[in-house]
Structure 1
Amino acid sequence: MNVLITGQHVELTPAIRDYVETKLEKVLRHFDQVVDVAVILGVEAPAEKDKRQRAEVNLRLKGEVVHAECTAENLYAAIDMMMEKLDKQVLKYKGKIQGHRQESAKRASEDILNPTSDETL
């Protein structure tokens, strides 16, 4: 798995890199089929008095790309909110993949017609 952390108009210190990597480890332990991770941290200035810190991530999975983006006044807060969004999306994707193991309709109808002796009506 390749992890690429870049900064736009912001200097990436080792503390910021370590913080992002530890947050990514928490998210990636849910799902092990990650091909590539690209994290972009930057500063936007939409107005003169309001500077925003932006964090976005593109997580390439096998056949899918998961994208999360968040802005906040503090860079660490933006990273935290972005990782929460990413975690929810990864868990949702994992659920979709594993959710296709349902019993066939034929078997379900047989169970309804012929209940076992353990079941009480």
Structure 2
Amino acid sequence: MIVNISAKHLDLTPAIEQYIRSKVTRLERHFDKVLQINFVIEKQPHHGFHVELITDVEHHEDFIANSTHDDLYACVDLVLDRGVRQLTDHKDRLRNRKHPEIDKSA
């Protein structure tokens, strides 16, 4: 799995990058077909931080989660919670997909 982290109007410190990489394992635990994860961290002038999580999953469109908060670490946690929720919902839909009945009399 590829993890890309980019920052706008903010210096990306090794501590922030390490924190994100340690938390990303939650996404892998819930769904094993994650190909790529993109984090975009943006420092906004009056609204704190905005984090966008784009998750590229095999055989599906990208999942996008957003979060805005005054604390960067809380913002990362919120966006990861939303990303995990999207992946678990998708996994449940795949598991519960109804297949057409096969006619056994033939």
TM superposition score category, shorter chain reference: 0.7 to 0.9
SS of the residue corresponding to residue 29 of structure 1 reads: helix
Which structure is higher in RCO with an 8 Å CA cutoff and minimum separation 6? 2
Q: Which has the larger radius of gyration?
A: 1
Q: Distance in 2 between matches of 1:106 and 1:43?
A: 59
Match of 2:71 among 71, 74, 86: 74
Query: Of residues 35, 52, 55 in structure 2, which corresponds to 1:56?
Result: 52
Q: What does the per-residue CA deviation read over 1:13-34, in whole Å, with 9 as the maximum and x for residues that have no partner?
A: 1110111111110122111111
In 1, Cα distance between equivalents of 2:24 and 2:59: 20
TM-score (normalizing by structure 1): 0.77
Deviations 1:21-65 (A, max 9, x none): 1111012211111111111111112xxxx3421111100001221
Q: Percent identity?
A: 24
Which deviates more from structure 2 when the two are superposed, residues 97-106 or residues 4-13?
Answer: 97-106
Report the AA paired with residue 37 of structure 1.
I
Give the partner amino acid of 1:78. C
Q: Which runs of 5+ in 1 are unaligned?
A: 108-121
- Aligned residues: CA RMSD: 1.9
Q: TM-score, normalised by structure 2?
A: 0.87
Aligned residue pairs total 103
Quote how far apart the aligned CAs of 1:99 are. Answer: 1.0
Aligned to 1:117: none
CA distance in 1, matches of 2:55, 2:78: 16
Matched, 1:94 2:91: yes
